[in-house]
Structures are given as structure tokens and as C-alpha cells.
Chains A and B, each alone.
Chain A
């Protein structure tokens, strides 16, 4: 009954498809589509990078943890890891390096020139484009 009602109400604005009533399937070709399934589902054999138990030795990737190099993941449209608590500390090494780098830059700037020069000073100190991307891409860095 409901379906009949749907039909009669919508008839006037019906969207036409090549083959009347059939919606064609699209291959999920985008990298985000593929990654989402390949990384998140399927048989899991081990969650650790290396486990060595009994006679079985497995190397398996804790990808959810490692892909926490946030900038790349977000760049390709993946952000489900942001909701995974296990990842909250996932970028520690990068963050520490970044913080140290920022601190060095700031100290250098303090020593040589006034605050107004901060932006251009940062450029000339050689912070690469990738470093800046990381700063912008991960708001958690700013909070840390």
C-alpha cells in the first residue's frame, strides 16, 4: 500500500533511467571506496605487526593504527579512524617531531626578528610544504 502511494505521488517527477526502472550498479572505483572495505573488513588474522606463536608466524599490519598518519588518510577521503579511540595516540612520533620543529623555529625567530615576521620567517626557515600540510590537516596537533 505504502509503495503504491509512493508511486502515485511521485509519478509526475519520475527520474528516467536508460532501462526504465533499473538503477545501474557502479563499480566502487574510488580509492576511498576500496580502502574502506579492504582495510576495515574481511578476515582478520592478527592485529599486531608481528606475532610469533607456536609454529605459525604471521606478519600482519595494524593498519588502523599506522594509517593514523592523518594527512594522507584524510587526503584520500578516509576519516573513520578519527572515531577510533585506539588511534588517539597514533601519531605521537610525528607530533613530537613537529612540535620540536615549531619550537626551534620560534626560538630562531625570537632571536633574530620581531613577531610580525613570523609567517615569512617560517617560510625561509625551510619548513617544507608537507610539514605545513600536516599542521593544517590534523587539528589534534594543535591541541596537544
Chain B
């Protein structure tokens, strides 16, 4: 690992890695472990907001070094999990606006300038999150079971008699129709899941993630849920699972998560514009 000074002459060798933003009154009881050992999370307070940060070695995040580090699954996993652990500890007992992984400020003043510039937006986002947590509700596809269900549902008539060529074309057409039917059925499932969850949720969002093949998710929802409605959520998802399991979809709940999916603020435009 090179000297920090080779990365930028005369600059400090550490920066402030930011995990998230909380209300200034909520900065007590911070988790003791951050991204790097011996550098526990602490709060940088500006007015009534606090950013939870910890010191990190900038050399690791320097452009040339970073690309290698990100390719190193061990390096990436330990940092990403540390980021997540800090936020998970925080969300237990206070609203938190999670930052995306990898946000580093040169110094404390940068953190404070950001908090002060977007104070009103950050505050109101925190107020919106009070008393809620993010949960994931998703359904995985068992392809053959789903296909059987969709075939039954659309009750395709037997193909008309014909030669080999016609049979081939017919089979191709059937396959294509099956795919369309599956897509329609999946969309139907998504809508029903959303409709079932909405009455108990503060908000429901579709997540954009695309799973790898063999792990296909027909449903991938983020639910912002008031803390006192968890058992209702569990009951609803259990119902969905019971209903759809025989149709090739297995539902599950994950969480609680830091409310990543409901905090979509992009503050960089703000910085550029000002």
C-alpha cells in the first residue's frame, strides 16, 4: 500500500466515511465497530442533524487502488457488511437516512456543509421515516410449477392437425404464448401482492434488482412499514405464500433493512448547482 502522499501531496491520509444521517438528538449509543478497526463511528453534528461517520484510510479508496480493491471480493464484502452493520445497529431505535456505500468526505467541514445546505429536506425525510422500517417481500419462481399453472389457466386448445412443419411452428408459437402468459401471470401476482400489502404499509415500492437465472424473482418489493404492523405484514405474506405456492411462487420476507429503497435523494446535483 502506497504512502497517502503519493496519492495527493500534502493532504491528510484519512477522510470521513459517512454511513447515514440522523437527528442530532439521536447520536448516542453508536455501534463500536465501523469500516476500520480502532476507528469507531462517531457523529458530526450541524444544527439539529447528525451524520454518522468514521475515519478511513484514503489510500484504500484512491482511484488507482480502489479499482483493485473492489475487484477483491474479500475487501469489498468486509466493507459493505461493515457499512450495513453500522446502519442495522442504528435503525433499531431511531430513524436513519442511509447513505450509499462509498461516500467519503475529505474533512468534517464537508460533512457539516452538506447537512446545513440540505437541512430541510433531510429533516423532513427523517420525519417521514419515524417509527418505520424497510422490509423486503419477494417471491421466487419454481419454473415448472408456474408453467403448469399458467398452462392450466390459459387452457390452450390442442393444436390443429398438420404436417411436421406446421407442428414445429405450432410448438414455437405455443412456447411464445406460454412466455407471454407467464409474464402476464407474474404481473398479476405483483399487483396482487402490492394491493395486499398497501393497507398496512406507509409505502410499497418495486425494487429494480434483477436476479440471476435460476433465482428468478417474480416479485421483489420494498415495504416501508410502521413498526407496530409487522405481525400484519407477516400474516399477509403468509397468505400470499399459501395461495401462490402451488402455483410456483414462494414468498419470503427479509429485513428489517435500513430504508435504502425509500431514501432516493441525490445531493450531488445540489452541490453542483450551488
Contact = CB atoms under 8 A, between A and B. Distances in A.
Interface of A: 3, 6-7, 10, 13-15, 17, 21-28, 31, 33-51, 53-61, 63, 66-67, 69, 72, 74-77, 79-80, 82-83
Contacts of A59: 15, 58, 61, 104-106
24 contacts: A23-B234, A23-B235, A28-B254, A35-B80, A37-B258, A37-B261, A38-B80, A38-B100, A41-B261, A43-B20, A44-B265, A45-B18, A45-B114, A46-B267, A46-B271, A55-B113, A56-B114, A57-B105, A58-B271, A59-B61, A61-B66, A63-B100, A69-B71, A75-B73
A49 B65 CA distance: 12
Nearest to B11: A57
A24 B102 CA distance: 32
Contacts of B98: 41-43
A24 B271 CA distance: 42
A33 B215 CA distance: 12
Interface in B252-273: 252-258, 260-261, 263-268, 271-272
Interface centre among A33, A59, A77 (most CB of B within 10 A): A59
B232 to A, nearest CB: 10
Given A37-B84, A45-B100, A72-B72, 5 more contacts: A31-B80, A42-B97, A42-B260, A55-B110, A76-B73
Tell me what chain A mostly uses at the interface: helix, strand, loop, or mixed: mixed
Interface residues of B, number: 73
Contacts of A24: 234, 253
Nearest to A5: B243
Contacts of A79: 210, 212
A43 B71 contact: no
A17 to B, nearest CB: 6
Interface string B104-118: 111101100110000
A43 B269 CA distance: 12
B27 interface: no
Nearest to B195: A2
A39 B103 CA distance: 11
Contacts of A56: 105, 109-110, 113-114, 271
Contacts of B66: 49, 61, 66
Given A37-B260, A72-B71, A63 B101 contact: yes
A127 B212 CA distance: 28
Contacts of B258: 37, 42
A61 B274 CA distance: 21
Given A41-B260, A67-B70, A23 B15 contact: no
Given A25-B234, A61-B61, A66-B67, A45 B260 contact: no
Interface string B55-79: 0001001010011001111001100
Contacts of A39: 80, 100-101
Contacts of B267: 43-46
